[in-house]
Amino acid sequence: MACQGHYVVTGGAGFIGSAIVRGLLREGAGPIVVIDNLLTGRESNLEEVRARIDFQRADIRDYGEIAPLIRGAAVVFHEAAIPSVPRSIDDPAPSHETNIDGTFNVLRAAREGRAGRVVYAASSSAYGDTEVLPKVESMAPRPKSPYALQKLVGEYYCGVFSQVWGLETVALRYFNVYGPRQDPSSPYSGVLSLFMKALLERRAPTIFGDGEQSRDFTFVEDVADLNLKAARAKNVAGKVYNGGNGGRVTLNQAWAMLQEIEGVQIPAVYAQPRAGDVRDSQADTTAAARDLGHSPRFSFEEGMRLTLEWYRRDAGR
Ligand code: UD1
């Protein structure tokens, strides 16, 4: 069972959570407790670090199961969630239960167990379509999908736990995270993982809409770094920060870049735009840079090349 002053990563077997676990280990932080129900997470994401962490298969929807693991934690990184905008539209109940009720359970366990801080994985989807880019934390949220709303409720809950009960929380609004270990096997997977899988299999990807929608794609290592910084920063309790790169790339540009890297020409297939889709997304990183010391290190092209190499190796395993 967990001991005092440990680190907890919910969703720690997932793509982002496991990057945070490896970041913590690199910093020499410990002990580390990973909570994951393995719904979308995979134990193979923790393969090389398995012996150095305490892996607990538990579900954040079950308060009784997770409370003892969170009690006395120094920091809880709350990454467990059911992601995907279209998944939340096709099947809203499970994502509601995990993303809202599960987040409430994590916060309640952190408060009752006197945890030092909760760093919460919020989402850029909370902004919806804003008139102005880049998107700044002071803009009024306009969630367009159940997923966006659920992530926003989690953020509001963080703020309320901080104000009402003095729990230190920091919410990081991730902007379309990509990188090694992102699972490309579901239609709900992140678009770049699907693009790379299609590229390596020499298939045409599907682009929903005209492909001119844009995203601030953020490399997973930069997001993991930001989490570690958010865990240490002073005077940030109850605050919300963008976790993006500050750039903006259209899907057409992303697919063009991948074809160029690979030296192939495969025209994409275009389909109907997706319900709940945000048109443009780009982070203003001023506040995160100022208060948390956020400084993304990976350019889009660098991140894409590293990720593509990872999928190539993974496919060959
Ligand atoms: C949204 C959030 C993001 C969050 C993610 C969780 C926004 C701006 N971003 O991502 O912060 O982490 O949910 O799931 O809301 N697409 C295709 N072809 C495909 C798949 C997707 O064209 O095969 C398109 C989508 O229609 C969308 C874009 O690619 O326009 C990105 O989609 P996706 O990777 O699913 O992420 P978002 O929904 O943008």
Per-run averaged pLDDT (10 residues), the chain, 317 residues: 78 98 95 97 96 98 98 98 97 98 98 98 98 97 98 98 98 98 96 98 98 98 98 98 98 98 98 97 98 98 98 83
Please tell me the predicted confidence (pLDDT) of residue 4.
Answer: 63
Contact 264, 62 (CB under 8 A): no
What digits encode the pLDDT tens for the residues 163-206?
Answer: 999 999 999 999 999 999 999 999 999 999 999 999 999 999 99
How far does the centroid of ligand 1 lie from the alpha carbon of residue 56, in Å? 30
Q: How far is CA 299 from CA 245, 250, 282, in A?
A: 8, 15, 14
pLDDT digits (tens, 9 = 90+) for 115-139: 999 999 999 999 999 999 999 999 9
**Distance from C-alpha of 113 to C-alpha of 73, rounded to nearest angstrom:** 8
Q: Residue 84 — left, alpha, or beta (φ > 0 → left; ψ -120 to 50 → alpha)?
A: left
Q: CATH top-level class for 7-175+220-246+282-296?
A: alpha beta
pLDDT per residue as tens digits for the range 60-84: 999 999 999 999 999 999 999 999 9
- What torsion, rounded to 10 degrees, do the Cα atoms 171, 172, 173, 175 define? -170
CA distances from 66 to 37, 115, 157, 165, 166 (A): 11, 13, 18, 20, 21
Which protein residues are within 6 Å of ligand 1, measured from CB? 83-85, 123-125, 174-176, 190-191, 194, 206-208, 213, 215, 251, 274, 277-278, 281
**Ramachandran bin of 139, using left for φ above 0, alpha for ψ from -120 to 50, beta for the remaining angles:** beta
Pocket test for ligand 1, best of 89, 120, 176, 182 (most atoms within 8 A of CB): 176
Longest dimension (CA), the chain: 57
Considering only CA atoms, which residue is closest to atom 27 of ligand 1? 277
**Which of 82, 125, 142, 255 to mutate for ligand 1's pocket (most ligand atoms within 8 Å of CB)?**
125
Q: What atom of ligand 1 comes closest to residue 205's alpha carbon?
A: 23
Closest atom of ligand 1 relative to the 273 alpha carbon:
26
Residue 188 CA: which ligand 1 atom is closest? 35
Ligand 1 atom index nearest CA of 274: 26
Q: Which two tokens stand for residue 263?
A: 């030296």
Assign 309 to helix, strand or coil. Answer: helix
Domain ranges of the chain: 7-175+220-246+282-296
Contact 99, 84 (CB under 8 A): no
In a mutational test of the pocket of ligand 1, which residue from 135, 193, 208 has the highest number of ligand atoms less than 8 Å from its CB?
208
CA 224/CA 243 separation, integer angstroms: 10
pLDDT on residue 226: 98
